[in-house]
Structures are given as structure tokens and as C-alpha cells.
Amino acid sequence: MIGFNFSEHNLEQNGQDPFEKLLDLFKELLLHTSGDVKEALSWLTQLDKQYKLTDADYGVGDFIQDLMDKGFIGKSDDPKTPSFVPTSKMEIALRRKALDDIFDQLKKSKSGQHHTKSTGQGDEFTSEMRPYEFGDKLDNISISETIKTHTSTMELKNFK
């Protein structure tokens, strides 16, 4: 029978350590909460309770401590509202993740498979001059420069 065979999700399948798995999820949550670390950690805790993302050896508290130790989050400077804020290291990681998400979805297209009413000019030409090569288009030849060059190199006696 053709179809799909589903199995239970196993977090250990992709070979990441628990911190890396939770960090990937935390980055995604941080993007959805517009950088609010407190809310992202709250969502992470709820997801952990619902899906048992952590075990007895490594919990959400351990993950938060690792985030602080590794420099991904820091404490807010405001003493009235003690909370966590993302550090520049986390911001760089979020930007990298966003770019990876965008560019991983891009696929190489086949060249020349677009239909237009007119043909293109081909190569983009610069103001630099070079000697004629077989296959160059005749409309790209600089007639006045060619005549000047050949006239100066030819002897005047040939024109008499």
C-alpha cells in the first residue's frame, strides 16, 4: 500500500545536543515575540510541558543558565523591571537564521527559459576598446577609431 508511515518524533535523531535543539526553538520563538525574551521563555516552558522537550538531566532552567553563560541573553540594565534582553550575539544569530531561512528556499533556475517579445543585447559593453575578434558584431566596431589607427600606421605613400 502506498502512503505515509508516521512515527513518534525523536529529538535525538538529528544528533544535536539538548542546548542546540532548544536554542533553535528559542530563536524561532524570539522572532515571533519580536525579541521579548521573557515571553519567548514562557512559550518555551509551555511547549516543554506539552511536548516534553527536556528531560530530568537538562531542563529549561539549565537552558536559561546556558544562554546567559554563553552570552546569548543578558540581564536588563533597568533595576525597576529585572528581565532578560537579547545580546548582540543573539541578534547576530537571529539575523543569520533569517538569512538562512530565506536563501535555503531559493533554487537555481534554468537560464534562458523566459519568454520575451524581443531578444536581449547580449553582453554589456563598456567604453574600453579592444581589437576586433572573429564573431564580434559589426555594429560594435568603432569605425572612426579604426580609421584613425590604420591611417596613422599606414605610410602616406600608399595613398598617392
User: Residue 53 sits in a domain of what CATH number?
Assistant: 1.10.10
Report the domain count for the chain. Answer: 1
The reported pTM is: 0.58
85 forms bridges with which residues in the sheet? Answer: 74
Which stretches within the chain are classed as H helix?
Answer: 18-32, 37-51, 60-69, 88-104, 143-153
| Neighbouring-strand partners of residue 75 | 84
Predicted pLDDT at 135: 80
Report pLDDT for 9.
55
What pLDDT does residue 1 have? Answer: 53
Domain extent at residue 97: 14-104
Long-range contacts of 5-8 (CB under 8 A, 24+ apart): none
The residues of the chain scoring below 50 in pLDDT are 11, 13, 157
Residue 61 in domain: yes
Q: Quote the pLDDT of residue 90.
A: 95
Residue 62 lies in a domain: yes
CB distance 20 to 11 below 8 Å:
no
